[in-house]
Amino acid sequence: MAVCDVLNTRAEKVGEVNLNDALFAVEVKTGILHEVVCMQRANQRQGTASTKTRGEVRGGGAKPWRQKGTGRARAGSRTSPLWRGGGTIFGPKPRDYSYSLPKKVKRLALKMALSARSQEGNLVIIDSFDLPEIKTKEFIRVMDTFAYDNCLIITGEKEEKLYLSAKNAVGFKVMPVAGLNVYDILKYSKLMLAQSSLAKLEERLLV
């Protein structure tokens, strides 16, 4: 097991912790990460785009002009897709873009994402991140101490004060272990784990 320093909010070393190789030393395969990220983004799509076909456009009951003798091309309806204001051919309709991958694949991708941050040296373990009050300025001060301008913070449980303090801070996101996902790990360049979240991660991923 790799040994990682445990820091406090002043970026000072206060201890050490052993990182489980089954979570932080997995061989990273970009193909699996790509599959899971594509699935997550597809599942977030609303799929509400909709256009009207020629049968749904208002009007079109009367023939615009007689069939012969006018010198113009034949026309049977004002809702023709060839006409301005007519229907749309093969336009989008509301649909569900979501799909799923096997649980084992999603679990493996999470381990790979954690391992990638660890192997890059972009993983930091913090003893606790308790804020006395909801204050974005205080949250930014802590991040400046670590010289981070882009970071995902993972806590063991939902920390309401920390979550609200970071909500308006650009480049940062706070979530509990229960919400951890591959897309967010890869989206942020740094990963900060509260020490209390390590046991939760093992419970979630090592089953």
Q: What is the pLDDT of residues 95-126, one digit of tens each?
A: 999 999 999 999 999 999 999 999 999 999 99
- Confidence (pLDDT) at 147: 92
- Best CA proximity match to 2, nearest among 12, 16, 15, 11: 16
- Confidence (pLDDT) at 158: 86
| CA–CA–CA angle 100, 105, 110 (5° rounding) | 105
- Confidence (pLDDT) at 60: 86
- Confidence (pLDDT) at 63: 94
Positions of the chain with pLDDT lower than 70, given as ranges: 207
Pairing of strands 151-155, 123-126: unpaired
- Best CA proximity match to 7, nearest among 112, 110, 127: 127
- Confidence (pLDDT) at 1: 72
- Confidence (pLDDT) at 157: 87
- Confidence (pLDDT) at 120: 92
Query: Helix 103-120 and helix 30-43: axis angle, to 10°?
Result: 120
Which pTM was predicted?
Answer: 0.84
- Confidence (pLDDT) at 4: 87
- Confidence (pLDDT) at 87: 96
Q: What is the pLDDT of residues 66-82, one digit of tens each?
A: 999 999 999 999 999 99
Question: With 0-12 CB in 10 A as exposed, 13-18 as middle and 19+ as buried, what is 44?
Answer: exposed
What gap in Å lies between CA 123 and CA 119, rounded to an integer?
8
For the chain, which domains are there? Answer: 2-45+98-205 (3.40.1370.10), 47-96 (no CATH)
